[in-house]
A and B are shown apart, each in its own frame.
Chain A
Amino acid sequence: MTWLTWRQFRIPALAVYAALAAVGVVLAITGPDLVGRTEFTGDAESLYTGTMLAMYLLPAVLGVFWGVPMVTRELETGTHNLVWNQTVTRGRWLAVKLGTGALAAALAAGLLSLAVGWWASPIDTMASAQPENALWTRISPALFGARGIAPIGYAVFALVLGVAVGILLRRTVAAMAVTLVVFAAVQLLVPVLVRPYVLPATEEAVTITGENITRITGNQAGVIESIDVAEPSGAWVLTNETVDPSGAAVSPLPDAVQGCMPAPGEGLPDRQTVVGCLTQLSDLGYQQRLEYHRADDFWPLQWIETAFFLALSALLARFCFRRLRHLS
């Protein structure tokens, strides 16, 4: 069975690994240049975007081009009639196919993540040290799935998802489309609905001092809706909101500070005046509430996320085996 699986799988497998090797070469050539730099613009910036894209695309590609055809191709060409009548049960047939595919997918994602993680480490280090780059710390939602071991979980999940959808729909093209949509949906929903809550976040009440105000958000009528205070560097901030003395979130800010911003048309606001004015909030007992995952939470979160996706994969695999008995 291993021989047949390898014979059928070698072309798609080699295609993906060849592409990964090419990416690896590019990263190996450009990587050493990044060490010690503090500015990453131009080439480095576009390469950086490219690596992110590659990290997110790889699992989808594996699900669509490895996972889906694994079973649908056989069903469409009728060769399942041939292979299921050799002295190998369907269950073993699928187990070997799924096992080989999942291992190859995990390895591909692991290797790419390792290469990208190494290449981007100077950029990541810089981002985690500078609060203004909080969006690009490796724990932030945009980057989290492109670093560490989570991509392994995504790749295995995408592959098993492709096989499951293929078994359900029995048609290659339709199954490819559905796999892509479902995988993208899961990738978008997990950072919003699951990841923030799998570990307790750090909560902190910060005194509004004026110096620590980093952003003031107002609407068109000149009403100040919210302010942000400085966030711990390298952290993934979930909440940055103003609370009243009883601890309830307020938005817009109380009337006492609504005069702080100049009305539209009165010229540019002066930072000193505005910030000074806003410190009244502290005197009134208002505080800023921060809720965030510390930079140290990165690895625990990675392990949990990987385990979560592997568990999803196991559920899907179970479905595949149950469903397989009813195929003909």
Chain B
Amino acid sequence: MTALRAQSLGKKYKRRWALTGCTLDVPAGHVTGLVGPNGAGKSTLLNLAAGMLRPTTGTIEVCGGVPGSGPAQLAKVGFVAQNTPVYAGLTVDEHLRLGAHLNPSWDDALARRRVAGLGLDTAQQAGKLSGGQRAQLALTLGIAKRPELLLLDEPVAALDPLARRDFLADLMETVAEHGLSVVLSSHLVSDLERVCDHLIVLVESQVRITGEVEGLLATHHRLSGSRRDLDTLPADQHVVSASHTDRQTTVLVRTEAPILDPGWTVGRLTLEDLVLAYMSNPTAARPALEVLR
């Protein structure tokens, strides 16, 4: 089952390409993190997946259909846009009624339970909610329509660390309960580390690397040892980043095979190390990218 499949997907705004040659396969039933620096094309990709934008090149298929192609497709995908927009003049209760009127698959009990659990006053106008509460309300609307795939564009960007933690914990709970697929974007790896089991790194409008988090961590190693020429590395070790001092070389490589050279000290990587290495070396090891996965 594929939640999202893109084939050489590209989107051009007036003169600038926001996304180019994006080929992706996001399996269903996972929480996929979409990371990249600001302006890397994360929002563009999510908007394309939600059907808010139309691709300039290539194709995108979400839950087996063309995004935004009709009510049936809309019902399958929930989308919480950047800045978690809500109607400032409508109360929390009216937002729930909006959801109930506009979605045949609306789960009102779920929505009411969530809102009560979050301690939101249903009579309050959405414009007067805090950023965290607003994000929660938008998420509630996204979840209670019972989609197969939930797309969240920087849902925690405006939240303080505590609200951020609560929001993500709550999201995880819901995902586990309803078994839906989630793609959420962030420019902070630390947000995603706790919740994602699948990762897409987007840099400069292109997909740098994509795969399961565990697999990524298992195939990336930090090697350090006495200074040496990188050309001497075995052919199956792809250099992601490298740094040299007078006497030492530290290199981050990706390889399926075990590291056999006794001259290296092998270190484990955190997800953040890995993502930062890809983000800060936008051109390294690109040709080998497709090999992965």
Q: Which of A2, A79, A86, A87 contacts B86 (CB 8 A)?
A: A79
- Indicate if the CB atoms of B74 and A81 lie closer than 8 Å: no
Main secondary structure, interface of A, reads: loop
Q: For B102, what are the chain A residues with a Cβ–Cβ distance below 8 Å?
A: 1, 4, 83, 86-88
A262 to chain B, nearest CB (A): 72
- Indicate if the CB atoms of B52 and A328 lie closer than 8 Å: yes
A77 interfacial contact with B, CB 8 Å? yes
A69-109 Cβ-contact flags toward B at 8 Å (1 or 0): 00000000111011111111110000000000000000000
Interface centre among B50, B53, B87 (most CB of A within 10 A): B87
Report how many A-B pairs have Cβ atoms within 8 Å.
72
Give chain B's interface residue range (CB within 8 Å of chain A): 20 to 34
State A328–B67 Cα separation when bound (angstroms). Answer: 13
- Indicate if the CB atoms of B87 and A82 lie closer than 8 Å: yes
State A313–B75 Cα separation when bound (angstroms). Answer: 32
B23 interfacial contact with A, CB 8 Å? no
- Indicate if the CB atoms of A85 and B74 lie closer than 8 Å: yes
Q: For A87, what are the chain B residues with a Cβ–Cβ distance below 8 Å?
A: 71, 74-75, 102-105, 145
- Indicate if the CB atoms of A79 and B75 lie closer than 8 Å: no
Q: For A2, what are the chain B residues with a Cβ–Cβ distance below 8 Å?
A: 101
Q: For B85, what are the chain A residues with a Cβ–Cβ distance below 8 Å?
A: 77-79, 81-82
Quick one: which of B70-85 are within 8 Å of A by CB? 70-71, 74-75, 77-79, 81, 83, 85
Q: For B52, what are the chain A residues with a Cβ–Cβ distance below 8 Å?
A: 81, 84-85, 328
Quick one: which of B45-99 are within 8 Å of A by CB? 47, 50, 52-54, 68, 70-71, 74-75, 77-79, 81, 83, 85-88, 90, 94, 97-99
Q: For A86, what are the chain B residues with a Cβ–Cβ distance below 8 Å?
A: 74, 98-99, 102-103, 141, 145
B3 interfacial contact with A, CB 8 Å? no
Q: Which of B74, B77, B138 contacts A82 (CB 8 A)?
A: B138
Q: For A84, what are the chain B residues with a Cβ–Cβ distance below 8 Å?
A: 52, 68
Using known A-B contacts A7-B90, A77-B85, A89-B71, determine if residue A82 contacts B141 with beta carbons closer than 8 Å.
yes
Quick one: which of B84-130 are within 8 Å of A by CB? 85-88, 90, 94, 97-99, 101-105
B282 to chain A, nearest CB (A): 27
Chain A residue with the shortest CB-CB distance to B44: A328
- Indicate if the CB atoms of A89 and B74 lie closer than 8 Å: yes
Q: For B138, what are the chain A residues with a Cβ–Cβ distance below 8 Å?
A: 82
B77 to chain A, nearest CB (A): 7
A3 interfacial contact with B, CB 8 Å? yes
B83 to chain A, nearest CB (A): 6
Using known A-B contacts A82-B141, A86-B145, A328-B47, determine if residue A4 contacts B86 with beta carbons closer than 8 Å.
no
Chain B residue with the shortest CB-CB distance to A86: B102
State A3–B79 Cα separation when bound (angstroms). Answer: 22
- Indicate if the CB atoms of B81 and A78 lie closer than 8 Å: yes
Q: For B145, what are the chain A residues with a Cβ–Cβ distance below 8 Å?
A: 86-87
A167 to chain B, nearest CB (A): 15
State A317–B24 Cα separation when bound (angstroms). Answer: 38
State A223–B37 Cα separation when bound (angstroms). Answer: 82
B34 to chain A, nearest CB (A): 17
Chain A interfacial positions (CB closer than 8 Å to B): 1-4, 7-8, 77-79, 81-90, 325-326, 328
7 A–B contacts, CB within 8 A, in A order = A77-B85, A77-B88, A81-B52, A85-B77, A85-B142, A87-B74, A87-B105
Given contacts A81-B81, A86-B99, A88-B74, could you give 17 more A-B pairs where the C-beta distance is less than 8 Å?
A1-B101, A7-B98, A79-B85, A79-B86, A81-B52, A81-B79, A82-B81, A84-B52, A85-B77, A86-B98, A86-B102, A86-B145, A88-B71, A88-B102, A89-B68, A89-B74, A328-B52
